[in-house]
Amino acid sequence: MKAVTQIEVIFITTIKEVANLAGCSVATVSRVINNNGYVKEQTKKRIECAISELNYQPNEAARTLYKRKSKMIGLLLPDISNPFFTLIARGVEDIALSQGFQVLIGNSDNNANKARDYLSTFNSYNCVGVITTAFADKQVEKLLKSQNMPCVFVDRVNDVISGVSANHFEGGELQAQLILEGKPQNILIIHLDLKINTFKSRINGIESILKQYNVKYFYYESEKLTNEQAFISLIKNLKIDSIICSNDILAIETMAIIQQFKFKVPEDIQIVGYDNIPFSTMTFPNISTIDQSAYVLGQKAVSKLLNLKTNDYDKQLVLSPKRRGSIRF
């Protein structure tokens, strides 16, 4: 005896069926669904009841093709593996979802070609706009303008396109003030790519404070940390007792190296990071850092993008960072 396979049949309600049940035209139902055009209140209520009774779901793909606008937002990140950018993405997504939008994420790896490819993809999906923390490449800006795609830069902003960022100069000042609490004599500043304005602004903020005090400070490129022996030799030769890092990932990496060579933190060398990512509280000791509220930056960016008709869109929104932790002995 053969077993009988039960097949579930799913019936999809069409807009025509809604119109028939409501006793009106398909065009009238469409106006109600899209909130576009006048419909008598009594007719509108009949249509809403029909939609509910039939459990009608509009065909979003068809609406996107027809209106050339989707319920999607493009989010372009420079490095999704960095928890700072993950927090920005979470802030973007939470607000976007609450407003009925989905987020399409791209990872540029700080590569202009990848960034341009993703922007083309966002355009082909008819995204309502783009939020990007990728660098402000001029060719990328040109592509955005040619596609007439609204864009909000977040964290890494420029003067051309609307943006949301922390005050990185002020953040650098806070880093310097924090390190000075440990009465340093020789400070090492380990920095990322200074062609990126955010990192350069932090360095300028650090210098503005350190120049007021009788302390020596030196620079070190983050890429050189791969040569641990050379790095430790520099620490010893310059008698470094304090290190300021461009971000928390760099601070955690630096701490791991100096602890491996038996230096104590902060007794021998104090370290200050930047970003206040969750991992900064998982080290021993915790990384003292500067909080620029990545999650809030994401929220502010998507709110700015979705309210393009307000005057705020053309303004740069700058948030004040805050210090987290202190130098402990």
pLDDT tens digit sequence for 115-156: 888 888 888 888 888 998 866 556 666 666 666 778 888 887
Q: Which letter, b or e, does each residue of 55-78 get, where b requires 16 or more Cβ atoms within 10 Å of its Cβ?
A: ebeeeeeeebeeeeebebbbbbbb
Token pair recorded at residue 288: 């003292």
Return the pLDDT at 121: 87
What backbone torsions phi and psi does residue 166 show, to the nearest 5 degrees?
-85, 160
Return the pLDDT at 7: 43
Return the pLDDT at 10: 45
Q: Could you give the 3-state DSSP secondary structure of residue 26?
A: helix
In this predicted structure, the answer to whether residue 268 has a pLDDT above a threshold of 60 is yes
pTM, two decimal places: 0.74
**Integer Cα distance of 298 and 91 in angstroms:** 4
**Integer Cα distance of 78 and 135 in angstroms:** 7
Return the pLDDT at 309: 44
Return the pLDDT at 136: 55
DSSP classification of residue 320:
P
Alpha-carbon dihedral angle through residues 38, 44, 50, 56, given to the nearest 10 degrees = 50
Return the pLDDT at 31: 84
Tens of pLDDT, residues 28-63: 988 888 777 788 999 999 998 988 888 887 655 455
Return the pLDDT at 65: 43
Position 96 confidence tier, pLDDT thresholds 50, 70, 90: very high
Token pair recorded at residue 2: 């053969």
Return the pLDDT at 132: 87
Q: How far is CA 55 from CA 23, 42, 45, 48, 122, in A?
A: 17, 20, 15, 10, 31
* Residue (of 297, 265, 301) closest to 283 by Cα position: 265
**Integer Cα distance of 28 and 30 in angstroms:** 5
> Could you give the angle at which helices 41-54 and 15-22 cross, rounded to 10 degrees?
130
Return the pLDDT at 126: 84
Which regions of the chain carry the CATH code 3.40.50.2300?
70-166+295-322, 168-291
**Integer Cα distance of 293 and 313 in angstroms:** 20
Tell me if the domain spanning 168-291 has CATH number 3.30.70.1060.
no
**Integer Cα distance of 75 and 119 in angstroms:** 9
Q: Could you give the 3-state DSSP secondary structure of residue 69?
A: coil
Name beta bridge partners: 272: 244, 288
**Integer Cα distance of 321 and 208 in angstroms:** 17
**Integer Cα distance of 201 and 251 in angstroms:** 18
Q: Could you give the 3-state DSSP secondary structure of residue 271?
A: strand
Tens of pLDDT, residues 158-183: 655 668 889 999 999 999 999 999 99
**Integer Cα distance of 122 and 64 in angstroms:** 13
Return the pLDDT at 306: 87
**Cβ–Cβ under 8 Å, residues 165 and 157:** yes
As a whole number, mean pLDDT of residues 4-31 equals 74
CATH number of 70-166+295-322: 3.40.50.2300
Tens of pLDDT, residues 192-209: 888 888 899 999 999 999
Return the pLDDT at 135: 60
Beta-carbon contacts of 163 under 8 Å, excluding residues fewer than 6 positions away, are 152, 153, 154, 157, 316, 317
Return the pLDDT at 148: 72
**What is the residue-wise DSSP string for 280-298?**
GGSSSSPPBEEE--HHHHH
Q: Could you give the 3-state DSSP secondary structure of residue 169?
A: helix
